[in-house]
Amino acid sequence: MTRRLQIARVVLFLFACAAVLAFAAPLVRKFPARQAELILGGVTGLATFALTALFVRWERLHLADVGAMPNEGSIARLALGFLIGFVIISVWAALSVAFGHAHWVRANDVDSGSIALTVLAYLSLACREELAFRGYPLRRLHQRFGLWTAQFIVAFVFALEHKLSGETWVDAFLGAGVGSLVFGMAAIATQGLAVPIGLHAAWNLGHWALGLKGTPGLWRSVIDERHQQSAARTAIFLYDIVMLSAAFAFWLWHRRSRRTA
């Protein structure tokens, strides 16, 4: 297969995933926010998995070739991803307290049912996004163009999707785009999607718990009015430092795995 044909198939896959999301998103708006996210993630995740199966069959591959086939070790790797994700956001929150003029106070007593619904919602959304970006597209581009070319292409498209969903340019590219490098490196290092799904879900769940998802969480941030702007800049700077450090750690994991293979 030529490089142009490979790019065309990846672009077609990404457009198909975007079309599924664009079609499904308006249909779930009548549901409460967290239920809507769970339904949206579930429906689009299943559709994206079906698209992945279709495209790998088109190329005479297997789901395992793009990291999308669950196996007996998937649950353990998912749990590992959750653990890593919680460590990452905990480090970011601690650095924000130390350098960002912010601290957190307890905000709400959330019942266990709401927490379970939130966990499932973010897990389903993470499944959809990892399948759509770090599955077939990343793995096929990686094979054809190398690690970092594939990573930056996928990160750009991932950031663009977040921009089109309403985020600012800064949040889309310095937030989601940088995060994509971590999730992508985790997918390549572990040769699967379980770890990045867990990591992605844990990061979003942690953001919700800290009250940073636009809805009440377990805590809320308190920032002195004099430092609002500088705190926002510091938060994104610390986020990029933490995320790029995590991407580097996964890159080291990838290098070690290649040496021992």
Q: Determine whether 32 is exposed, middle or buried from the number of CB atoms within 10 Å of its CB (0-12, 13-18, 19+).
A: exposed
Report the C-alpha gap between 211 and 227 in whole angstroms. Answer: 18
Q: Give the phi and the psi of residue 217 in degrees, each rounded to 5.
A: -120, -155
pLDDT, mean over the chain: 92
Over range 213-219, report the average pLDDT: 79
**133, two tokens:** 């970006």
Query: Which has the higher per-residue pLDDT, 222 or 162?
Result: 162
Residue 50 clears pLDDT 90, i.e. is over it: yes
d(CA 82, CA 225): 34
| Sign of the four-CA dihedral 20, 23, 27, 33 | positive
| pLDDT, position 222 | 82
- N-to-C CA span, the chain: 27
Report whether pLDDT(229) > 80: no
**pLDDT at residue 261, as a whole number:** 59
Tally Cβ neighbours within 10 Å of residue 249: 16
pLDDT band at 182 (very low <50, low <70, confident <90, very high): very high
CA–CA distance, 86 with 96 (Å, rounded to integer):
15
Return the SS3 of 193. coil
φ/ψ of residue 236, rounded to 5: -70, -35
Rounded to an integer, what distance in angstroms lies between the CA atom of residue 83 and that of residue 78? Answer: 9
Confidence band, pLDDT 50/70/90 cuts, at residue 169: very high
What does the chain come to in residues? 261
Q: Is the pLDDT of residue 87 over 70?
A: yes
